[in-house]
Amino acid sequence: MTDKNSVLTDKDFSELHNDFKSAPKSDVLSRIIEQNGINQAAQDPDAQVRLNPVFSVDLQTGSVTNQKQSGRCWLFSLVNTLRHQFASKYKVKDFNLSQKYLFFWDKIERANIFYDRILATASRPADDREVENYLSFPGDDGGQWAMAAALVQKYGVVPVSDFPETANVENTGAFDIVMNRKLRIDAANLRQMVKGEKSDDEISAARKKMLSEVYRITAYSFGEPPTTVDFAYRDDDKKYHKVSGLTPKEFYAKYFDVDLDDYVVLSNSPEKDYNQLYSLPSQNNVVGGKQIQFLNLPMDVLKKATIAQLKDGETVWFGNDVLEQMDRKKGFLDSHLFRYSELFDTDLEMDKGTRLQYHQAEVSHAMTFTGVDLDGDTPTKWKVENSWGDKNGEKGYFTMNDDWMDDYVYEVVVHKKYLSDDQKTLLKQAPIELPAWDSLA
């Protein structure tokens, strides 16, 4: 290996040009790709056949939700699993819970834990890798399943009619700009107070004022959340019901038969050891709340547990890389949807572990499994409830080929009862702590 930089010369340009022009049908391919776009030229027409939206296990879950211009998919996916249970048990078609309610409390809790992290790392330089990670998106919209579960456990839930969607949650861009700026200013001030050896009382008072300002910004932007549930509805048999006077936590306890501590996140991250429990403390959002943990297992285990839960009539939250090999309008998810390697006569394939290691892959989205098509016991395709409204896919539902699950699904959330005894034992081990910049973050 030489230390010299590789300067491109006229000779290099000539060789590059000649290589390009000598490729078979280079002129034809140039015209096709230029005029039609890469995805249109690369799309496999047989995907329409592979992804026929008919499923042997198909839960009837009603109309889809729409997160619009926000990063709240992780909340929508958990809320979807809860609302489906309520709709089925109480016969209320298309019942919905307020995502904004949980989102409000996430902003307050996330600011609070951010201050903890800034103070804990105040002695490090601002360009320390962990500090940089905290400062990159301090008021981020995104999140993990355990973060949503922590909010439900602490604050309960409310029907969407009690705290409906409004402008700043449907399009969080301006709010995020303000909140990120606010938290970075607070971080700079807190770090300066530590450097200046201010007393604990002075730092505590400053932090309390900062959190009050965060609450004010959030309440102005979203409105203050309700403290009681006042909910009237007619069920599918036209019978009238009214719920009033319950706190959101009481409402959850009375109407939802879901103990979120009975569920576990199974991950498939092949660059890490299997049969190992991992934690991601850098992304926990509630001080003292539910911790983010993953039990890393082979994909066939994730599939088996997911199928079992679907067969028992319960939908499944899952984390994935939705922007890979996806046709949003058609609602297609297929690893061979766009044949880029064939189109460009270049090897563009990477295995799942390598993609995670080299930052080609990320857990960018959360959705909900609502069905699966089985050939015997073998899944061939999956029915997916998205939170992008009903104008995409089949009225908002996507069809996922089984190979896309292998390649681009990284997490599923299932009840512990679907694990073997040996797998349950793994949950008792001390988790390996993942850094803030891990591929599952």
Domain spans of the chain? 51-433
- Assign 125 to helix, strand or coil: coil
Beta pairing, strands 293-296 & 276-279: antiparallel
Alpha-carbon gap, residue 272 to 84, rounded angstroms: 34
Calculate the CA 138 to chain-centre distance: 17
Alpha-carbon gap, residue 299 to 362, rounded angstroms: 17
Q: How confident is the model at residue 186 (pLDDT cuts 50, 70, 90)?
A: very high
Lowest mean pLDDT among 22-36, 199-213, 295-309: 22-36
Q: How confident is the model at residue 219 (pLDDT cuts 50, 70, 90)?
A: very high
Cβ burial of 147 (10 Å; 0-12, 13-18, 19+) is buried
Looking up tokens 């609070």, which residue turns up? 112
DSSP letter for 338, please. Answer: B
Please state whether 412 falls in left (phi above 0), alpha (psi between -120 and 50) or beta.
beta
pLDDT for the residue 3: 58
Mean pLDDT value across the chain: 96
pLDDT for the residue 268: 98
pLDDT for the residue 5: 83
Are residues 222 and 169 in contact, defined by beta-carbon separation less than 8 angstroms?
yes
22, 39, 70, 167, 364 from 66: Cα distances, Å: 49, 25, 10, 13, 17
User: What's the start-to-end Cα distance of the chain, in Å?
Assistant: 35
Looking up tokens 């450097």, which residue turns up? 195
Q: Establish whether 36 is a catalytic residue.
A: no
Catalytic residue among 80, 320, 365, 392: 365
Catalytic residue among 168, 386, 392, 401: 386
424-438 per-position pLDDT tens digit: 999 999 999 999 999
The yes-or-no verdict on residue 1 having pLDDT over 60 is no
Calculate the CA 186 to chain-centre distance: 27
CB < 8 Å & 24+ apart, contacts of 172-178: 172/69, 172/70, 172/71, 172/72, 172/141, 173/69, 175/217, 175/221, 176/139, 176/140, 176/141, 178/217
CB < 8 Å & 24+ apart, contacts of 108-111: 108/211, 108/214, 108/215, 108/218, 109/150, 109/151, 109/154, 109/285, 109/286, 109/287, 109/289, 110/138, 110/139, 110/140, 110/285, 111/138, 111/139, 111/179, 111/183, 111/210, 111/211, 111/214
Q: Establish whether 268 is a catalytic residue.
A: no
Catalytic residue among 73, 168, 285, 320: 73
Dmax of the chain from CA atoms? 81
- Assign 300 to helix, strand or coil: helix
Looking up tokens 């002075």, which residue turns up? 202
Q: What are phi and psi of 413, to 5 degrees?
A: -115, 115
CATH architecture of 51-433: Alpha-Beta Complex (3.90)
pLDDT for the residue 2: 53
Q: How confident is the model at residue 139 (pLDDT cuts 50, 70, 90)?
A: very high
Q: Establish whether 73 is a catalytic residue.
A: yes
Alpha-carbon gap, residue 79 to 84, rounded angstroms: 8
149, 179, 307, 413, 441 from 290: Cα distances, Å: 7, 24, 26, 14, 16
The yes-or-no verdict on residue 307 having pLDDT over 70 is yes
142, 157, 174, 229 from 225: Cα distances, Å: 20, 10, 20, 10
* % of the chain surpassing 70 pLDDT: 99
